[in-house]
Structure 1
């Protein structure tokens, strides 16, 4: 069953407190680990991240240690197992890249996942399991997960990234407006299934995150090289074309100097660029001017872009909802758009 990032967060927040284990599948770089971290924080759980792919089966059982007289031996827990067994507050034990682990390591987790014990050691009630894996067709070294292991999870879901969830995250994390505007314009490039085994990157939420980190850092003459190394040449070429449009548009400051007369773009690419940039520049001091320009977008028939501008601005700076300009706008066409009327 496919889920969006926002649905997965809700699902984990419901399952984790009830100690119900969840298995998440999906292509590489789409945010599985970040969402688990978000859910751990939302449910007030400490997060323990394990990588079974680098484990041996003994890691899940402990090391045998003889008694002083050598007559008997016990398995002594160590590492992540020891931390989980000694947990006294809510702990989310995250098994990352689980599908890359050997069958022996996967089998060693079965008793922990279902019986919540290993040998004589019993997990405390405050520990919950979540696991994540790429799919077999993702060229990620996944050979599969044993069926008896899969059946020990309360539910198995496949994460599918969406442009709505990604832009919500991007706006909240101050991703450069130019990149947000581009991916709104070309949402099909947010996550692209890699079809070759060549040593190159493909577009994914993770790789676009690397692009965001390098924007404004690399000199312009190296932008294409840098971006192509992160998301591939085709996607990087489209981004560079979009940036050419973005950089030729009037600056947000220039628009806000004359919001009653500033030009309104005609092409979707330019409209995405302007609305996203204005949202990023919105403050309590200039929001009345932003909304003046936004009203003109509505009058020009660009209701979708007016909604993008208003929602992004409020998402970035929630205090804008309390401004007189925004309260007044709620009674007009913008309020109808936001309410979906």
Structure 2
């Protein structure tokens, strides 16, 4: 069953406190690990991350040691930490599908019986696992059916531009990158078909672009971005940035919101709305909303909604301004509410 990032987060928040194990599948770099970490934080769980791909079966069983005339298994590492847990703990098995069959088999008893040999897990421990798919060129040979059946539910995470831009606006991602991916949402995640040693567009690799945009010199932009998301996507980003940089500056629009020009092309509209959202403050938000109303009046309702929503996502305090409260009763409020 395919789920969006917001649906997966809600599912995990429901399943984790109930101690129901979840298996998440999906392409590399789409945010599986980040969503698990967020869910752990929101449910008040400590996070223990294991990587079965680099484990040996003894990591899950413990090391045998003599105890008189018998041998017992001595837990160590992640297993020891889980067995000693006294507060809510989320044990995240990352990249489970890359692990050997022997390691996967060693996890089965932990997942269902919640014990391994003579050691029983405390009730405060919950499991979540993630894996890439077999066709993702990620070294996944599969997961044993008995292992799969030990999860309460199996879901496939599918990235969406709506979830990504919601996260990006709250995380301070450069406005021009948000605008570009709204303009070209098909480039958010692109399946890599070649086995060459190069990156492909994904939420993870666009995240690297976001981190490098403020620091990379213009002379190296194409080289830097191509190394993060591939040459084709980087070339399209550079073409969009050329448009973005030729538009009136956000400061100029805020200075004269009643007369500043309104672009006509979709690329320019995405650029202007994202830039204004990033430049909005409590002091200038009334002027931003004046320009926003003009966008709506000339028929660009979608971009008016994007501007207002992004501004409030970036700075939630803007929702308490007099300008925004007044706008809530008019056309802008209807658009934000989806009416």
Same fold at TM > 0.5: yes
1:45-124 superposed matches below 5 A: 45-67=45-67, 69=68, 71-124=69-122
CA deviation after TM superposition for structure 1 residue 336, in Å: 1.5
Distance 1:118 1:328 in 2: 61
What is the aligned partner in structure 2 of residue 223 from structure 1?
221
CA deviation after TM superposition for structure 1 residue 328, in Å: 1.3
CA deviation after TM superposition for structure 1 residue 122, in Å: 0.2
CA deviation after TM superposition for structure 1 residue 216, in Å: 2.2
Distance 1:61 1:256 in 2: 63
Please tell me whether residue 127 in structure 1 is matched to residue 125 in structure 2: yes
CA deviation after TM superposition for structure 1 residue 204, in Å: 0.1
> 3-state DSSP class of the match of 1:48?
strand
What is the aligned partner in structure 1 of residue 38 from structure 2?
38
> 3-state DSSP class of the match of 1:109?
helix
Distance 1:275 1:327 in 2: 20
What is the aligned partner in structure 1 of residue 24 from structure 2?
24
- Please list the CA deviations of residues 12-40 of structure 1 after superposition, one character each: whole Å capped at 9, or x if unmatched: 00000000000000000000000000000
What is the aligned partner in structure 2 of residue 285 from structure 1?
283
- Please list the CA deviations of residues 140-177 of structure 1 after superposition, one character each: whole Å capped at 9, or x if unmatched: 00000000000000000000000010001101110000
CA deviation after TM superposition for structure 1 residue 329, in Å: 1.1
Structure 2 unaligned runs (5+)? none
Distance 2:12 2:214 in 1: 36
TM-score of the two chains, using structure 1 as the length reference: 0.99
How many residues in Structure 1 have an aligned counterpart in Structure 2? 339
1:220-299 superposed matches below 5 A: 220-299=218-297
> 3-state DSSP class of the match of 2:233?
helix
> 3-state DSSP class of the match of 2:72?
strand
Distance 1:327 1:152 in 2: 50
Distance 1:111 1:331 in 2: 57
Distance 2:328 2:124 in 1: 46
> 3-state DSSP class of the match of 2:16?
helix
After the TM superposition, list the runs of 4 or more consecutive aligned residues in structure 1 that deviate by more than 2 angstroms. Answer: none
TM-score of the two chains, using structure 2 as the length reference: 0.99
1:169-184 superposed matches below 5 A: 169-184=167-182
Distance 1:322 1:120 in 2: 57
What is the aligned partner in structure 1 of residue 207 from structure 2?
209
> 3-state DSSP class of the match of 1:156?
strand
Structure 1 unaligned runs (5+)? none
- Please list the CA deviations of residues 226-284 of structure 1 after superposition, one character each: whole Å capped at 9, or x if unmatched: 00010001100000000000000111001111100000001000000000000011111
Distance 1:50 1:237 in 2: 38
Distance 2:101 2:310 in 1: 46
Q: Alignment RMSD, CA only?
A: 0.6
